[in-house]
Amino acid sequence: MHDSLLPHTFSALSMTAHSFHRLAASRWACAEPQARLICAHGLTRNRHDFEPLARALQAEIEVLSFDFSGRGDSDRLAAPSDYGFAQYEMDALAVLSAIEHRAAAWPTAQRSHGPEPQARVRHHKPNWWQRLLGFRPPLVLGGEEAPEPARHPRGRLPTVWLGTSMGGLVGLMLAARANTPIDALVLNDVGPMVPWTGISRLASYVGRHTRFDTQEEVEAHLRDVCRDFGPLTDEQWATLAATSAEADGKGGHALRYDPAIARGLALGGGLFGRTGLRWWEGVDLWHLWEQVHCPVLVLRGAESDILPEAVAREMQRRKPQTRVVEFAGVGHAPALVDAAQIAEVRRFVLEQAARAPARAEPPLGQLRPLSA
């Protein structure tokens, strides 16, 4: 594989009410990026799900993905009750901040890096969320001052959030907030109404069978619980199994997520207090949908039980500019390894790059008006 296709890994520091924890993330560099795509995975998945998408887009788009707490290479939480959407929003904030903090120092696509420069103390300018919360950035030990980051010709890189299932709901929550850094949103088989029937199906297997004797058993399990991903090839199933499990230290293999996330799911992911009036149908987040003002692409598996057709059509009725693309023979959720699925994402992201006006940051110490 060409070196430029290998992602750079980094971490972000997040926290719960009880402790701090590290989040693992990957970035696929692009020499002249037109936009930045941040990918967030589903309930039991991890950032490696987006590797085929990232490789396909890397020539034009900077792609980043990360593991939510308790998944993949990210730390597991000390208190299982902390698993929920409030925590996942905090994780997302940590990753967004890390991206903005590191962007100036990141190299573009290249094969090798020189030696680390001698460390010295320097000041960092506060970023948007630090200004919003009134934080004073500390002195940081680091190398020479980083060069200015590559920018979109008309301003900073447009930022598109792509979220599958749970990751999409987190993106919806971020995009609905004032002063959001999200310029456009891709919702992969999820919307502002999630039926209880679909949630019950997920709850039937999450955390209940996470250890296997062989890698072949891992693959067989995933072919069963992830069969709605669509018609994957044998090679794609094998890759999915390889990135979904790890050696458990006892001669077997364990899925790469904390089984305790099932407790958060049983508690409604902390959404019971945020759901709307149609709670008997499912998790009702229509009030958040009304607050989203950026362009939205919705990818839907035609046989999905998490994003019913009626919900997708209602999303378009309330926001006619919303684009909905359905994929036949797919349920929950499109795996984003198919060429047609990747093409839809690429077209949408590059459209945002073409239309995005410059969005300069305000001077230090000055916040954007909340009405902006």
Give the domain extent around 65: 3-105+159-207+257-355
Give 172-216 as a 3 state SS string.
HHHHCCCCCCCCEEEEECCCCEEEHHHHHHHHCCCCCCCEECCHH
Calpha distance 22→338 (Å, rounded)? 32
Residue 111 has a CB neighbour count (10 Å cut-off) of: 8
Q: CB–CB of 53/63 below 8 Å? A: yes
Domain count, the chain: 1
Return the amino acid letter for 317. Answer: R
| Cross-strand pairs, 38 | 64, 161
**Is residue 118 in a domain?**
no
- E-only strand ranges, the chain: 8-15, 20-28, 35-40, 61-66, 120-122, 140-142, 159-164, 184-188, 193-195, 211-212, 245-247, 253-255, 282-284, 296-301, 323-327
CATH number at residue 188: 3.40.50.1820
Question: 305 with 201: CB under 8 angstroms?
Answer: yes
247: in domain: no
* Residue 242 placed within a domain: no
In a domain, 117, yes or no: no
Q: What is the pLDDT of residues 91-128, one digit of tens each?
A: 999 999 999 887 766 666 544 344 333 333 344 455 54
Query: Would 202 be classed as within a structural domain?
Result: yes
Q: How far apart are CA 126 and CA 145, in angstroms?
A: 15
Instruction: Judge whether 244 lies within some domain.
Output: no
Which residues, 6+ apart, have CB-to-CB distance to 342 below 8 Å? 52, 53, 56, 57, 336
Q: What angle do CA 7, 296, 82 make, to 5 degrees?
A: 65
- 115 inside domain: no
Cis (ω within 30 of 0) for the bond into 105? no
The pLDDT tens digits of the residues spanning 203-241 come to: 888 888 889 999 999 999 999 999 999 999 999 999 999
pLDDT in tens for each of the 372 residues of the chain? 444 568 999 999 999 999 999 999 999 988 899 999 999 999 999 999 999 999 999 999 999 999 999 999 999 999 998 999 999 999 999 999 999 887 766 666 544 344 333 333 344 455 544 444 444 444 333 333 333 334 444 457 999 999 999 999 999 999 999 999 999 999 999 999 999 899 889 888 888 888 999 999 999 999 999 999 999 999 999 999 999 999 999 999 999 999 999 887 765 555 655 666 666 688 899 999 999 999 999 999 999 999 999 999 999 999 999 999 999 999 999 999 999 999 999 999 999 999 865 454 444 344 445 444
**Mapping DSSP to helix (H, G, I), strand (E, B) and coil, where does residue 292 land?**
coil
**192: amino acid identity, one letter:** P
